[in-house]
Structure 1
Amino acid sequence: MRIGWIAWLADNFGELGYSHGPLRAALGTCAVLGTCALLWAALHRDRRAAAVATGLVGVLGLGWLAFH
């Protein structure tokens, strides 16, 4: 399943917002992942809330990067 998703992503890479170049894509992805890490650190006492919040921020952030 993962290999199929990676193959689909590689095939449609130019149609997503990551077509602005690998450097901008890497910086944006690292910024989203860094935000998720900070959010996890802030909410680490409540593991369920931390998992939900970081998952939501990660999905929304990467989705926004991909389609804008």
Structure 2
Amino acid sequence: MPDAEITVLLEAVLDDVRAGTPPWDTTTRERVAVRLRAVAREDHCSLEDLERARRDALTRAPTAM
């Protein structure tokens, strides 16, 4: 998928995340962004893949680093 398409998809998913999380919850927003970046770097990336990554990042508890 061309970079421009992925960018548009990422922006749409991130808009949903921003709308659904308080501005001060940067931990959640960062966790989702990291997961979305990982998925976007894969060879085959679709809106469904990004949405699944968003849901996973929002529902799974963060792990200690």
> TM-score if structure 2 supplies the norm length?
0.44
> TM-score if structure 1 supplies the norm length?
0.43
Which structure has the bigger radius of gyration? 1
Instruction: Identify the structure with the greater helix proportion.
Output: 1
